[in-house]
Amino acid sequence: MKRNLKIFISIFLVLVLSIVLTACNPVVQSGNLPQGDSRSASGTSDTSAGTKTEQGTDKGSTTREKVTLRFSWWGADTRHQATLAAMELYSERNPNVRIEGEYGAFATFHQKLLTQLAGRTAPDIVSVDYKWTHDLIKQGSPFVNMYELTDKIDMSGFDLNFAKIYGGDDNYLIGLPAGVNGMGYLYNVEFLKKFGIEPHNEWDWETVIENGQKVQAQDSEKHLMYNISEHWVYLVKTMLKQINGNTLLNDDYTLGFSKEDITKVFTYIRRLVETGTVPPFEEGVLYENVYADQNPNWLNQKFGIFPTSSSLIPGIAAASDFELDVFRYPVPKDAVDPGILVTPSMFISIYEYSKYQDIAADFIDFFFNDEEAILILKDTRGVPANEKAKELLVREGLIPKQVADMVSQSLTGAGIAENGPSLNPEVIALLKDYIQQIGFLKITPEEAAEKFMQELEALAATLK
Amino acid sequence: MVSRKVLKRSARRDIGSQGYIYILPWIIGFLVFQLYPFIASFVYSFTDFSILKPMSYVGLNNYIKMFTADRLYWKSLSATFKYVLIAVPGKLMFALFIAIILNMKLRFINFFRTVYYLPSILGGSVAISILWRFLFSKDGTVNVLLKALGIPPVDWLGNPNLALGTMGLLVIWQFGSSMVLFLAGLRNIPSELYEAAKVDGAGKVTVFFKITLPMLTPIIFFNLVMQMINAFKEFNAPYLITKGGPLNSTYLYGMMLYENAFAYLKMGYASAQSWILFIIIMLFTALAFKSSPYWTYYEDGGDF
């Protein structure tokens, strides 16, 4: 009997321990568990919502149940605060709905999203970058087709033709574009003035070099501009489009350029480094994955021009304590295609396995069309792609001049759209590698051109 | 007498099964979180598993591709080997050095021991990695100090030849756990040996090489194996500080695995790579074990 008691007590203790340890697991983000588990920290979904098996066919306003939606996005502080404020406004108007934000930096967003999609734990409303839409659609795209929601969301202000360039095709639209982004040159007004450089909208690639040399001649510690790793890729793609009107890879995964074309581009990159127009790669490589607002060289005015996309301007401006302005990205007079990259800033999509698709659609309608929401969100996601929103903001003077200017400047030189093959991450990694080798002066442009083409062809063949 | 024997046997059986029940939580955890993924990744390594697509069997393709068609594989492997050669001896030597210092009888020595252990606790965090970036940038603290000494600034993390070493410094800086073990080992050396050496008139260097080091060999062996395994798997440092670094000089194996799995969505390929890493680590660990009888000295003869 004593023996049995001992066994019983030990089993009991072990069970208690296991339960206590597992139940005390901190739930990192509320709503992490897909089916509205009643243990989730959101605590606002009661058991009846948890046991619903229909796919979100109840609108939150008709049933009086409390629901919690999750919305994920990336960005800087200005965007986070604005989005949170808009979400609160929606909750005030619809007291039974609570929206929770999952936000952070862009760098890790993609991988997190993929993991969430694999584990079926993605948020109800997801931000999707135009670079990922091709891959996502190819691999089964778990997002609701926006064309099917025209009765729930007012899409009259959207140019759906623009949206479908990157977001799908005639039959499927992955999400609604939140804003328009254009590439351009953001510059430090004082810096350019000090070195006697004229910012205007007719620069071409030779102007860049000339001015780069001008800066170096006056102060060898300073450089004209700095390109982050992503931007070198844009530079190559844009130059190629200007030379031959084509994307990096064709839709059938064959090379979209000739050896001559790519040698020209690589030679130009080498010249940028040799003339000191950009800082030596040894110096610059540390900051190649962050934007100007986190680059001490920009903040300390060691270089004057930061090529960027318009949506990043508010974040950079907030960190810079000097005057900023913009001018158009270089386009040679004889360019076949002006090539400037104009893209949707992000797509707002509804996750296919969300339990509250209707409420999500209602929130998205509010997000894009409600005047108060537009005024809160302003241009934190770029100049709005929705015409009505854009006009409202322009009327109220809420779009910073630089952002609006950069977008209109880029639109005057908008290039052909990027395609899926050219946006493949392995292709980009290969290109970045070669740019680095050229930048570190380890390889000549001609050698680089030949090897790059060989490797790219081999890689593209495996990606078909 | 018969009843006593019966009692003994059943009592033994009792204790045995009770033991299993006590470690049941760990067993469950091991099966679910370690054994299952272990076997699963082996299975995946023979497929083209990708997070979003259904998988299909590809046989040994992943392994063949790894060795012949992956342009970064050998670079990454050689960078990892170089890194292990820098980080492991570096960490051990530094840990031993600090342990010897901390073994002295000073006042507040316990305070110093705590302080010197701190880097290990702070070490792998994102904040420290960012701090490292700032310390070693062109106008970072290290270069400022060098300037004060009249040496021109160095691109510690930008120069492909230096980046690996600089990154290794971060890991060497987290020597705490090795140091604690060395400290314990030092205190276990019988003081009679030191006294005898003093009587014989041996100098400090001789004492170190003839007494301290040989007596510490079991600890050195343990630290060597543990740190070697950790160094081969290193991921945090390259990911947070250099992202693979200038010209892939810090593109360690762990980072390559991660990119293949999550950036390029090639889970099956990454699983194959991880198994090769496992085999490499096993080989080196086996080598260390096989060689240990020749250079480690156990006071109790070495049998457990």
- Tell me the chain B residues in contact with residue A117 when contact means C-beta distances shorter than 8 Å: 51-52
Claim to verify: residue A254 and residue A141 sit in the same structural domain: no
Q: Is residue A53 part of a domain?
A: no
According to DSSP, the residues that pair with A347 across neighbouring strands are A128, A177
- A125's enclosing H/E stretch is strand A125-128
pLDDT (0 to 100) of residue B7: 57
- Cβ contact A344:A179 at 8 Å: yes
The per-residue pLDDT of chain A, averaged, comes to 85
For B266, the closest chain A residue by CA position comes to A426
Distance in Å, alpha carbon of A293 to nearest chain B alpha carbon: 15
CA angle B240, A131, A427 (to 5 degrees): 70
SS3 annotation, chain B:
CHHHHHHHHHHHHHHHHHHHHHCHHHHHHHHHHHHHHHHHHHHHCCECCECCECCCECCCHHHHHHHHCCCCHHHHHHHHHHHHHHHHHHHHHHHHHHHHHHCCCCCCHHHHHHHHHHHHHHCCCHHHHHHHHHHCCCCCHHHHHHHHCCCCCCCCCCCCCCHHHHHHHHHHHCCHHHHHHHHHHHHCCCHHHHHHHHHHCCCHHHHHHHHHHHHHHHHHHHHHHHHHHHHHCCCHHHHHHHCCCHHHCCCCHHHHHHHHHHHCCCHHHHHHHHHHHHHHHHHHHHHHHHHHHHHCCCCCCCCC
User: Does the CB of B264 have a partner CB in chain A at under 8 Å?
Assistant: yes
Is A2 near chain B, with CB under 8 Å?
Answer: no
Burial of A62 from C-beta contacts in 10 A (0-12 / 13-18 / 19+) = exposed
Q: Answer yes or no: do A72 and A162 share one domain.
A: yes
Task: Supply the pLDDT for residue B264.
Answer: 84
Which one-letter amino acid corresponds to residue A344? P
Cβ-based contacts of A12 with chain B (< 8 Å)? none
Candidate from B21, B247, B259 with C-beta closest to A437:
B247
Cα distance between residue B85 and residue B108, in whole Å:
35
Query: Per-residue confidence at A294, pLDDT binned at 50, 70, 90?
Result: confident
Same domain, A277 and A321: yes
Backbone torsions φ then ψ of A197, nearest 5 degrees: -110, 135
Of A118, A283, A433, the CB nearest to B51: A118
Q: Tokens 């991921």 correspond to what residue? A: B235
Q: Which of A29-33, A184-188, A242-246, A430-434 has the lowest mean pLDDT?
A: A29-33
Helix (H/G/I), strand (E/B), else coil: A101: strand
pLDDT value at residue A9? 79
Please indicate whether, in this complex, the C-beta atoms of B246 and A437 are within 8 angstroms of each other. no
Q: Are both A141 and A219 inside the same structural domain?
A: no
For residue range B125-172, what is the model confidence (pLDDT) as tens digits?
A: 788 888 888 888 888 899 999 999 988 888 898 888 899 999 888 888
Domain hosting residue A137, numbered range = 65-178+345-369
Q: Which of B246, B119, B221 is nearest to B170 (CA)?
A: B119
Residue A133 lies in a domain: yes
Q: Is A14 part of a structural domain of the chain?
A: no
Structural domain includes residue A34 = no
Chain B residues in contact with A110 (beta carbon < 8 A): 263
State what percent of residues in chain B have pLDDT above 90: 42
- Is A374 contained in some domain? no
- Give the integer Cα–Cα distance in Å for A220 and A209: 15
Give the model's pLDDT for residue A36.
34
Residues A148 and A233 in one domain: no
For residue B52, which residues of chain A lie inside 8 Å, CB to CB? 114, 117-118, 136, 139-140
Same domain for A98 and A142, yes or no, is yes
Same domain, A303 and A286: yes
Instruction: State the average pLDDT for chain B.
Output: 87
Task: Verify that A69 and A104 share a domain, yes or no.
Answer: yes
Q: Does A439 touch chain B (CB under 8 A)?
A: no
Task: State which H helix or E strand residue A223 sits in.
Answer: strand A223-225
Closest CA to B77 of B265, B239, B281: B281
Q: Minimum mean pLDDT among A237-246, B28-37, B236-245: which range?
A: B236-245
In a domain, A315, yes or no: yes
- Compare A414 and B302 and report the one with higher pLDDT: A414
Q: In chain A, what residues touch B248 (CB-CB under 8 Å)?
A: 433
| Same domain assignment for residues A134 and A210 | no
The answer to whether A139 contacts B160, with C-beta atoms less than 8 Å apart, is: no
Same-domain check for residues A124 and A194: no
Check residue A143 and report its DSSP letter.
B
The two tokens of residue B179 are 């140091």
CATH number of B66-295: 1.10.3720.10
| Whether residue A449 sits in one domain with residue A434 | yes
Torsion of CA B82, B88, B89, B90, to 10 degrees: 90
Average pLDDT of A201-230? Answer: 93
- Nearest residue to A383 (alpha-carbon basis) of A139, A179, A107: A179
Q: How many domains does chain A have?
A: 2
Of B238, B272, B270, nearest to B252 by C-alpha is B238
Instruction: Note the pLDDT tens digit of each residue in B185-244.
Output: 998 898 898 899 989 888 888 888 888 999 999 999 999 999 999 999 999 888 888 888
Give the closest of A111, A136, A284 to B263, CB-based.
A111
CATH number at residue A92: 3.40.190.10
Q: Which of A45-59, A68-82, A240-254, A276-290 has the lowest mean pLDDT?
A: A45-59
Q: Is residue A10 assigned to a domain?
A: no
Q: Is residue A425 part of a domain?
A: yes
For residue B157 the two structure tokens come to 């993390």
ipTM of the assembly?
0.78
Segment holding A261, helix H or strand E: helix A259-274
Between CA A444 and CA A437 the distance in angstroms is: 9
Residue ranges per structural domain of chain B: 66-295
Q: How confident is the model at residue A46 (pLDDT cuts 50, 70, 90)?
A: very low
Q: Is A135 on the interface with B (CB under 8 A)?
A: yes
In this structure, are A316 and A359 located in the same domain? no
- Asked if A457 has any chain B CB less than 8 Å from its own CB, the reply is no
CA–CA separation, A245 and A460 (whole Å): 20
Residue of higher predicted confidence among B297 and A326 = A326
User: Are A286 and B259 within 8 A, CB to CB?
Assistant: no
